[in-house]
Amino acid sequence: MKRFWYINMALLLAFSLSVGCGTTQKAKNSVTSKVTSIISGVDQNLFAQVPEDKREGVHKAEFDLKVSEEKMKLAELKKELAISQKEYADYEQDLTKKHRKEAAVALDMAKLEAIDKAGLGNEKDNIKAIADLEAKKLNVEADSVKIKAKLGIIELRISDLTKRIEEQKARIEGMKVD
């Protein structure tokens, strides 16, 4: 009976997520089409019939649109860079916490080893506690290696985004008025 309820709940959750996503997409499409109709409300067939000497300001407006589109791309790259930098900082903080935990485990191990060498406490309990701490230390070290790998990947992404931002800035600077 429990399995029946779990399956029904999973199906209900999947259905509600798919309905929500579909509704969101419809709303997005509706907004996009309204914005497009506001922006491009010009009949292109009629405009094509306008003589070249009567198209005052059109070329400048087209240029301004192209510049604003390039600036939009630049803003998106900067946003992506900021997100990556925050992600990097978060992983750095996680790595620092792992190093702190590793140091705390090492301190506990040193204390237990000193107790064991002094012949204090129960020898079996000491050996078990030291082994448990060694396992804990190895787990923390493994987590640190994984975090360092993620940091390396994010460093590459940040480097790539920084390069792309500079290229985009140069592209915008290089644009000339027709």
Q: Tell me the pLDDT band of 27, cut-offs 50, 70 and 90.
A: very low
In whole angstroms, give the CA distance from residue 65 to residue 59.
Answer: 10
Arithmetic mean of pLDDT, 122-132: 94
At residue 31, the pLDDT reads 44
- Break the chain into its structural domains and give their ranges: 74-178
Q: Tell me the pLDDT band of 14, cut-offs 50, 70 and 90.
A: low
Most confident of 19-23, 26-30, 60-64: 60-64
Considering only CA atoms, which of 90, 84, 109 is closest in space to residue 160? 84
Neighbours of 107 (CB within 10 A): 11
In whole angstroms, give the CA distance from residue 118 to residue 115.
Answer: 5
pTM (2 d.p.): 0.65
Structure-token pair, residue 11: 């199906």
Give the 3-state secondary structure of residue 155.
Answer: helix
DSSP 54: G
Q: Quick: pLDDT tens for 35-86.
A: 444 566 888 888 888 888 888 888 888 899 999 999 999 999 999 999 999 9
Cα four-point dihedral sign 154, 160, 166, 168: negative
